[in-house]
Homo-oligomer: A and B are copies of this chain.
Amino acid sequence: MAAAINRQWLLASRPTGEATASNFRLVEAPLPEVADLKEGQVLVRHHYLSLDPYMRGRMNESKSYAQPQPLDAVMIGGTVGEVVASKNPNFAVGDKVVGMGGWQEYALVDGTQRGVLQKVDTTHIPLSAYLGAVGMPGVTAWMGLTQIIEPKEGQTVVVSAASGAVGGALGQLAKQRGCRAVGLAGGPDKCRYVVEELGFDACIDYKQHPDLKSLSKALKDACPNGIDGHFENVGGLILDAVMLRSNAFARIAVCGMIAGYDGQPLPMANPQLILVNRMKIQGFIVSERMDLWPAALKELGTLVATGKLKYRESVAAGLASAPEAFLGLLKGRNFGKQLVKLI
């Protein structure tokens, strides 16, 4: 069944400024023999590795909501795959599973710990979707929308990184609730996709609006009734421009500030608008509300299975390609959910 070796990407060093390929190191580890599995353990062969912006934050030493990724350890990451060996009665060889297997081809998992490995049904939902629209990114969008933005029918909801896994789901969930959905994305192809494929009402190419005045004007045109809710993945200029166009009682869910991941200052230009517009700005982490995941996954799974929630994947081939694909993701070179196909 398993090959004799398991290739892994370790974090070799922490970035100073931009992350680079030299921050990662590819190593080969021996695969455990089936006979060596301990009671409760499951050996999973990964089909897909998920690459997500949050990983950049974990590479830093600095204080954040999570422990930093340890040096010389396998990079953290969501994975889907197939059970290839099991000493756990809850998992059989051939089961499809989703977990946090990391940047490696196989993972040996203690299946007795609740929630570390979930069996998934691929009858109506592709396996890879459990890393995107029906996984952490989709739940992230669902949580920001339903718990912080709480949009009413007819309101306008804006999302940055709109062609990505989270942003794309956010806008479509807002449309499902009768809102006007407006995206921000980089380049005409992504913007066209966001409107024509995902069904957003409008999408602004932020690369055409490099200053606050221009971007604010573009938002005004795209949001003639102002902005009631915003889901922030980027921060910086985009957040400033959205605040200028926000209505009274606007809600901003802060999911990411990718513009500041390399350590550059990222001041908010006009915090007075929080008062002037009686805004709520709230940060959240999807993994801190596990109680909400079942409701989120139920809605997301139904929408994907019935074709009502669309998504796109950027698939890099082979574990070796993971660092370059990840660095491209941080620069917006991906188009849709960034995955690495391992098999």
Interface residues in chain A, defined as those with a beta carbon under 8 Å from any beta carbon in chain B: 63-65, 235, 239, 248, 254-257, 260, 265-272, 274-285, 288
Apart from A65-B278, A266-B271, list 5 A-B contacts with CB within 8 A.
A267-B268, A268-B268, A274-B281, A274-B282, A278-B285
CB distance from A189 to the nearest CB of B (A): 29
A275 and B288 contact, Cβ closer than 8 Å, known pairs A268-B268, A281-B281, A282-B281: no
Q: Please, which residue of chain B has its CB at the minimum distance from the CB of A260?
A: B272
Q: How far is the CA of A284 from the CA of B276 in the complex (A)?
A: 8
Q: How far is the CA of A288 from the CA of B280 in the complex (A)?
A: 15
In the A-B complex, the 6 residue pairs with the smallest Cβ-Cβ separation, listed nearest first, are A268-B268, A275-B283, A267-B267, A268-B271, A280-B282, A274-B283
Quick check: B281 and A280 within 8 Å, CB to CB? Answer: yes
Quick check: A275 and B248 within 8 Å, CB to CB? Answer: no
Q: How far is the CA of A267 from the CA of B267 in the complex (A)?
A: 6
Quick check: B268 and A255 within 8 Å, CB to CB? Answer: no
Residues of B within 8 A of A280 (CB): 280-283
B239, B255, B267: the one contacting A269 at CB < 8 Å is B267
Quick check: A271 and B257 within 8 Å, CB to CB? Answer: yes
Residues of B within 8 A of A281 (CB): 274, 280-282
Quick check: A269 and B265 within 8 Å, CB to CB? Answer: yes
Quick check: B235 and A271 within 8 Å, CB to CB? Answer: yes
A254 and B274 contact, Cβ closer than 8 Å, known pairs A65-B248, A279-B282, A280-B282: yes
Q: How far is the CA of A256 from the CA of B276 in the complex (A)?
A: 9
CB distance from A159 to the nearest CB of B (A): 15
Q: List 14 A-B contacts (CB under 8 A).
A: A64-B276, A254-B271, A255-B275, A257-B271, A257-B275, A265-B269, A266-B272, A267-B271, A277-B283, A278-B283, A278-B284, A280-B280, A280-B282, A281-B282
CB distance from A243 to the nearest CB of B (A): 10
Q: How far is the CA of A64 from the CA of B278 in the complex (A)?
A: 10
Residues of B within 8 A of A65 (CB): 248, 275-278
Interface centre among A235, A277, A282 (most CB of B within 10 A): A282
Quick check: B288 and A283 within 8 Å, CB to CB? Answer: no
Quick check: B271 and A276 within 8 Å, CB to CB? Answer: no
B255, B272, B279, B283: the one contacting A276 at CB < 8 Å is B283
Residues of B within 8 A of A277 (CB): 65, 283
CB distance from A241 to the nearest CB of B (A): 14
A272 and B63 contact, Cβ closer than 8 Å, known pairs A278-B288, A282-B281, A285-B278: no
B239, B272, B278, B284: the one contacting A271 at CB < 8 Å is B239
Q: How far is the CA of A197 from the CA of B277 in the complex (A)?
A: 35
Q: Please, which residue of chain B has its CB at the minimum distance from the CB of A274?
A: B283
Residues of B within 8 A of A276 (CB): 63-65, 283
Q: How far is the CA of A269 from the CA of B282 in the complex (A)?
A: 16
Residues of B within 8 A of A282 (CB): 274, 278-282
Q: How far is the CA of A272 from the CA of B284 in the complex (A)?
A: 12
Q: Please, which residue of chain B has its CB at the minimum distance from the CB of A281?
A: B281
Residues of B within 8 A of A283 (CB): 274-280
Q: How far is the CA of A131 from the CA of B149 in the complex (A)?
A: 35
Q: How far is the CA of A102 from the CA of B282 in the complex (A)?
A: 37
